């Protein structure tokens, strides 16, 4: 783990970069769900949206989430005694777990929309799209409060 400690700032940089990319996907995918659910009768439009939804989830959002989680675990392993002794990290981890649950809930809706079985409205997805904003506020607050 000494090598990770030596490159800790780079791991942290990658963590932040991946987190920002992941959040971009988490903000945009539910917006696509809004357009999808509000335009179900427009077959050509829905066909394009389905492609965008899948590409966003599988090629941007998923890899960014994986990198975020892996680099977060690395940082915890290297500095667990320091990090886990502060209360903010427990709150940050809780927000991160909730964000992971939201990420996988996106997959559930992605599959439903792909199979034309989703009964949720555009109004629902507009409200649903606010969840990552609330979690982001908590996570960023905890990131800023870190002693590193």
Binding site, residues? 15, 92
Torsion, Cα 32 33 39 43, to 10 degrees, reads 80
Contact 77, 1 (CB under 8 A): yes
Indicate the annotated binding residues for heme: 15, 92
Q: Which residues contact 10 (CB under 8 A, 6 or more apart)?
A: none
């Amino acid at each position: 783990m000494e090598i990770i400690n030596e490159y800790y700032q780079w791991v942290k940089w990658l963590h932040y970069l991946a987190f920002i990319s992941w959040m971009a996907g988490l903000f945009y995918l539910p917006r696509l769900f809004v357009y999808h659910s509000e335009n179900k009768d427009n077959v050509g439009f829905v066909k394009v949206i389905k492609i965008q939804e899948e590409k966003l989830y599988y090629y941007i959002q998923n890899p960014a989430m994986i990198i975020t989680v892996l680099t977060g675990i690395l940082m915890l392993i290297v500095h667990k005694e320091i990090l886990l002794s502060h209360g903010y990290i427990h709150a940050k981890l809780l927000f991160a777990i909730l964000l992971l649950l939201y990420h996988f809930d996106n997959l559930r809706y992605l599959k439903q929309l792909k199979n034309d079985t989703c009964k949720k409205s555009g109004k629902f997805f507009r409200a649903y799209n606010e969840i990552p904003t609330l979690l982001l506020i908590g996570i960023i607050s905890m990131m800023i409060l870190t002693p590193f």
